Structures are given as C-alpha cells and as structure tokens.
Amino acid sequence: MFQTFIASAITGSTSPTRDGSSGSTGARKGQWSKEEDTLLRKCINQYSPVKWSRVPKLAGLNRCRKSCRLRWVNYLDPSIKRGSFSEDEEDLIIRLHKLLGNRWSLIAGRLPGRTANDIKNYWNSHLSKRKLNVERRILKPIRPQPVTLPQNWSWLTMKKQGEAEPKMETKVPDEEEHDQWLMMINDYNLNDQMASNQHADFGFECAYGVGGEESTVDAILQWDGLLSDIRLWSDSEVE
DNA sequence: AACGCAATCAACCGCCTCAAA
DNA sequence: ATTTGAGGCGGTTGATTGCGT
C-alpha cells in the first residue's frame, strides 16, 4: 500500500529551488496526503530524535527534509493545540508582539501548543487588522475637549507616589500639551502594567473625552471607571 | 445556482546562523 | 580560513472555504 503511494507521489509536481531543498531532487510538493502523514508520524515515533535530512529516506517519503520538518512542526506534532485562540492567548500575542515584533518563534515559545506559523497566520488575518483599526482610531482627528489638567505636568507621576495634588485648571489643550498628554498616558499605562494593550491604546482618547464627554485627570487615575468606559466605548466602535 | 470577492491557513521560498569537516 | 550541510526563521503564495450578491 505504502509502496504504491510512494510510486504515485513521485509523479507529483516539482520545481527547482535555489537552495536545492526540494525541486532539484524531484521531491514532491504541495498538500500532504493522509498516507504521507502516517509515514512521517511512524518515522518520527520510531527514530526520534532523528536528523531531518534522514527523515525522507527513513520514512519512505518523496519529500525534502524541510517539507518533512515543517509538516511535523506545524501540523503532526501531537503537542500542537488545535482550535481557536482564547482571549488570554490573543492578549498575550498582542503584548509579546509589541515587545518582540515579528519574532514568531519567540512568541510561540510563550504559548504552549501553538506554532509560530499559527501565530503568524492569526496575527496577519486577525490581530494586525485590529491593530490597524486602533491606530486609525488614534489618528482620527479628535477635537480637544476642555479638560481639567494639573498645572504641573510632572504631578501625574508624583501623585502615584502619594504627592499632594497640584492646582488644577480647565482648558483646551494646545498642540504641545496634546503631545505631552499622549506621552504621559503611554508612560502611565506602561508603568501601571495595564490589563491589556488595547486599554493602553484607548487611554488617550478617553483622556481627551470621546463623543463630547469631558474627562478629568482624576478620572484618568481611577482606572476601574476608566477601563469600563474604555471597554464600553471600544465595543461600540467595533460595531 | 452561479459568480466574485475576501478571509484563512498550509506550505513553500529564500535567507541566515552555526557547527563540523 | 573556508566550505558545506543542516536547522530554523520570517515573508509570501496559492488553494480552499465562506459569504454576500
């Protein structure tokens, strides 16, 4: 049975590759069949740990070493977790991506059972778009609303250490203050280990007041209330 | 039912690093 | 010091699937 399959596999489509990993040797390419999966699985179970360069021969597969490795690493390995990503996993991916960039294998290392390929695909098809939407929202011109600000900008960080409140003033922020706010809130979010990056991304808009509502510095410091506002607002934005 | 478009994801490609010869 | 082969990575492609018209 396997022999007949192998014979048919040889007729599979081929094309040369620059690194000679498959095409130049006439190795089969494209979707893996159930029979190929079975052969590879049997080989790994029997010989593991084994050099990937030896796998095609040991398994009786007309596939290149890379194709075998990829199939195992991304699909056949029994430790791979199937099914959709949980909210926690999603959140972790977003955080790690912010920290590591497109280092998919490193990110995958922090999510047991998830492959780098899965995470990359998930990011590209789901999360990158969401990030884009968030960025678009942030870039959306928001007319500054009158807000109650501390006259001393450094107070916000000091207050967390128990400093007394400075004098407050209600005003429409100018461009420079606008930037200061953005920096300050980003900093504040980072220092406070925000519950999620999404919250951090929305913090700025909330500080400025969304939909004509006015927010004060005190409101910013009351995270519970702020976060629920953010969630309500972001939910309505997603619709 | 048929078509077109968008989303998804498995698989490939090309490059890089590293160790052994 | 150089070459070569293996392992691994991120980017990209293309087949498949789902959905709207």
Determine whether the distance from the CB of A184 to the nearest atom of strand C is below 7 Å: no
Judge whether residue A133 has pLDDT over 60: no
Confidence of residue A25 (pLDDT cuts 50, 70, 90): low
The total number of residues written for chain A in this structure:
239
How large is the average pLDDT for residues A140-162? 39
Distance CA A173, CA A181 (A): 9
The backbone region for A190, taken as left when phi is positive above 0, alpha when psi lies in -120 to 50, beta otherwise, is alpha
pLDDT at A68: 92
Return the higher-pLDDT residue of A129 and A148: A129
pLDDT at A50: 84
Q: Give whichever of A31-35, A205-209, A229-233 has the largest mean pLDDT.
A: A31-35
- The mean of the pLDDT values for chain A is 60
Which nucleotide lies closest to A103 by the C1' atom and the CA atom?
A: C10
pLDDT at A212: 27
The set of residues, in sequence order, having a beta carbon less than 8 Å from that of A159 and lying 6+ positions away, is A165, A221
pLDDT at A71: 92
A54/C7 CA-to-C1' distance in Å: 13
Judge whether residue A59 has pLDDT over 70: yes
**Residue of least CA–C1' distance to C13:** A30
pLDDT 10s digits, A154-182: 434 334 444 444 444 445 545 455 444 44
Q: Please state the pTM of the whole predicted model.
A: 0.56
- Three state DSSP letters for A49-88: CCCHHHHHHHHCCCCCHHHHHHHHHHHHCCCCCCCCCCHH
Domains of chain A plus CATH, in order, are 2-76 (1.10.10.60), 87-139 (1.10.10.60), 147-238 (no CATH)
pLDDT at A130: 64
**Residue of least CA–C1' distance to C15:** A31
The two tokens of residue A148 are 């109650």
Of A232, A235, A203, the closest CA to residue A219 belongs to A203
Determine whether the distance from the CB of A128 to the nearest atom of strand C is below 7 Å: no
Phi and psi at residue A156, in whole multiples of 5°? -55, -45
Determine whether the distance from the CB of A66 to the nearest atom of strand C is below 7 Å: yes
